[in-house]
Amino acid sequence: MKLPKIPKYLKGVAAVTLLSVALTVFLFQIDVPILQLFELKLYDLRFLQRGYQKPSPVVVLAMIDEKSLDQEGRWPWPRSKIATLVERLSEDGAKVIGFDIGFLEPEENGDPTVSQGFQEALDRLAETNEGLIDLTSGQMRKDINDRILADAIRQAHSTTVLGYFFHMSPSELNYDIGKKEIDRQLALIDKSKYPMILQQNPNASRLPFITAYAPEANLKILSDAADGSGFFTVTSDRDGVVRNVPLMIKCGEDLFPHLTVQCAWQYLDRPQLIVNVPRYGVEGIQMGARFIPTDENGQMRINYLGPAKTFPHYSITDILKGEIPAGTFKDRIVLVGATAVGTHDLRSTPFSPVYPGVEIHATIIDNMLTGRFITKPQWSQIFDLIAIITIGLLPGLFLPRLKAIVGLLIALAIFTLHILFTRWLFVQFNLWLNMVYPLTALVVSYTFVTVFSYATVERDRKRIKGTFRQYVAPMVIEEMLKDPEQLTLGGEEKVLTVLFSDLERFTSYSERYGPREMIKILSEYFNRVSEEIFKQRGTLKEYVGDEVMAFFGAPIEQPDHAKRACETALAMRDARHKLSKEWADSGRPILHARTGVNSGPMLIGNLGSRYRFAYGVLGDQVNLGSRLEGLNKQYKTSIIIGENTYELVKDDFIVRDMDLVRVVGKEQCVRVYELIARAGETLSPEHLGALEAYAAGYDEYCRQHWDKAIDHFKRALELRPDDGPSKTMLARCMAYKDDPPPEDWDCVFEPKSK
């Protein structure tokens, strides 16, 4: 049977439609500046349409405003006045004080009248500075206010974070500052660098971080007194609007955090701080239980909550005069910055072309603490591409079949629906999907098809047939939360529980499945079992081939770490069963795994150098956990736990006392147990009977009553034919019956392999 010929008109429509889609995809790939600018403006419009959102009460602003300049004098003020501000905020209970201003040069006080109360300040410093006697009055007069501020920062109950900035390239300077000066400046901010960077490919030739030429740090006396520092550099897009902020900048060999990261981190009592760098670039920052997403270069999209003064503003002069109600700043982050005309700290944002820079920082901290991020995940580009192709193809489908006015109305409806859909995703989920390029695809495709239709025969317009390829956007995998404490270089010994789980015969599947299918199978399996580890707040150490290693009890203290590990092992077993059912009709294999769980003292720590860290566990009990995983092969079981773990969980789970074993590499024997089910779960009468028969058989086995032991194990297999330990012990008893062990045999089994 011959297929009907496709009319030339339909071929032409298909050609121009595909051409328009291809053109738009090409523009999307090269990211045309004018279209990118349109997208940014529509992005800003979404903020305006969404309107005001209530900020967290945590962040407030102490402002150098017009009122403060009128009352306190022109800027810059003496450092002694800033010291008084620090004291006032600390006395009122501020938890963190962040300065969006720099103290980059010494304050010259040659004129005694510049610093009122000079002698009182000397007397005050003499009480807390033992080295004061060595200073001449001239030297003290020169930097008295710097010392007063340093003393105030040091004595304050609040945590103080200073701000500084980076020179991004040598061209910003009109002179060569020299390597020695750069090293000196880096030393001033060294204690505030990121403590850990998890980089999958540390040897990559091109690092993803934004790099700077040199820092312009605060005075050493102030840097030493402060609890930390962060750069307050912000970047703007081509149109001058600030939409992103770099949360990390690399200078020298180290990576340094933004002022907002430091403030949020200090406010959260310095939890574990990690920069995650997969192979494609930066993924984000793990700050304790919080994950802060960034783009591949470490920049975070700012989720603006409203116009200027969305966050509470307090005039510094009112704070200095004690005119602010007591408790206003208690347990809050107070950002000190400027809004007065002439202070040059006003930026352009989606809400306003004149927006206080310090309020941008307040917004960023609010985003970090509340988790309200503007997300543009990796899969969004695939979604955008699908939207471009799908929407671009639609005119080629409906225009040839409809009258011109109906086609125009449908095109306008699609145009409007895409705008409403992307706006809805932004407002409801803070998800940024491209609006311009899919609409461009629609406009270009509609124009091309319409022009082509008017240039061809009208009667052939209704014959068009199009086929569409279906696209499915990939799912986004959510990182676990852990709430670990701050880690230090080195390690400590703690009692923990380790879990090893290895798939059985997985390498043999490579003969049946291709490499891509193998990777898909393994990835889906890892997704499922990792979720179970994270549900129990376990720490996923690594994947090695088809093996998963995790541990429990660190870095967060978990008194029930053994119970969590056993619960995870059972949940992983349930997840495999569920996955196998889902795969039953697809021809994928039924997965079986061997799991070993062991508890005991282990060395836990963040071992390595400042370039590469590896947080994990070491020790004899870790090795034993790995051996227990391998013992499943001997006993044809799925989960084996050690005697230490058994003592910690015996009231919470149903277990079987299986054997006394001297594993390879250990002199002492250990008792091993099979983890069967959670306490309270109902086992079948056959299962319970098999367990009782096994226990009786094992008792006779240790007494070397081989025939009685054989009878009990056979009884267990009659009740439960697939009982692996009974099969193993039955075979062993038969072997010992023919070839008995030595007279001094202590009922200990010694496997010959790992």
CA 544, CA 528: separation in Å to the nearest integer? 16
CA 103, CA 82: separation in Å to the nearest integer? 11
Handedness of CA 216, 191, 244, 170 (dihedral sign): positive
CA 235, CA 102: separation in Å to the nearest integer? 18
CB atoms within 10 A of CB 452: 21
Report DSSP letters for 200-257, one per residue. Answer: S-TT-SS--S-B-SEEEPPPHHHHHHSSEEEE---B--TTSB--EEESEEEETTEEEE
CA distances from 221 to 134, 181, 202, 609 (A): 17, 17, 35, 28
b or e along 581-610 (b: 16 or more beta carbons within 10 Å of the residue's beta carbon)?
A: eebeeeebeebebbbbbbbbebbbbbbeee
In this predicted model, what pLDDT tens digit does every residue of 554-589 receive, in sequence order? 777 889 999 999 999 999 999 998 888 888 777 777
- DSSP assignment, residue 133? G
In this predicted model, what pLDDT tens digit does every residue of 438-488 receive, in sequence order? 888 888 877 877 776 665 544 433 332 222 222 222 222 233 333 334 444
- How far is Cα of residue 23 from the mean position of the Cα atoms in its chain? 36
E strand spans, 452-573: 490-503, 539-544, 547-552
E strand or H helix at 659? strand 653-661
Geometric angle at alpha carbon 639, from 635 and 640, rounded to 5° = 70
CA 726, CA 638: separation in Å to the nearest integer? 14
Q: Tell me which residues of the chain have a pLDDT lower than 50.
A: 1-6, 110-119, 130-138, 457-489
Q: Which pairing describes strands 284-287 and 290-293: parallel, antiparallel, or unpaired?
A: antiparallel
Report DSSP letters for 292-340, one per residue. Answer: EE--TTSEEEP---SSTTSS-EEEHHHHHTT-SPTTTTTT-EEEEEE-S
**Paired tokens of 539:** 């720490």
CA 151, CA 329: separation in Å to the nearest integer? 21
- In the prediction, which pLDDT does 1 show? 30
Helix or strand or coil: residue 746? Answer: coil
In this predicted model, what pLDDT tens digit does every residue of 94-121 receive, in sequence order? 999 999 998 988 876 544 434 444 445 5
Report DSSP letters for 38-101, one per residue. Answer: HHHHHHHHHHHHH---PPPTTEEEEEE-HHHHHHH-SSSPPHHHHHHHHHHHHHTT-SEEEESS
Helix or strand or coil: residue 733? Answer: helix
CA distances from 682 to 574, 676, 685, 719, 738 (A): 16, 11, 9, 16, 39
8 Å CB contact between 59 and 333 = yes
- In the prediction, which pLDDT does 604 show? 83
Place of tokens 């307040």: 362
8 Å CB contact between 231 and 258 = yes
Crossing angle, helix 724-738 and helix 706-719, to 10 degrees?
Answer: 160
What is the radius of gyration, based on Cα positions, of the chain? 34
- In the prediction, which pLDDT does 552 show? 92
CA 75, CA 60: separation in Å to the nearest integer? 21
CA 589, CA 247: separation in Å to the nearest integer? 44
In this predicted model, what pLDDT tens digit does every residue of 651-710 receive, in sequence order? 999 999 999 998 776 778 899 999 999 998 999 999 999 999 999 999 999 999 999 999
8 Å CB contact between 569 and 639 = yes
| Closest CA relative to residue 156, chosen from 85, 229, 259 | 85
Place of tokens 């403590």: 195
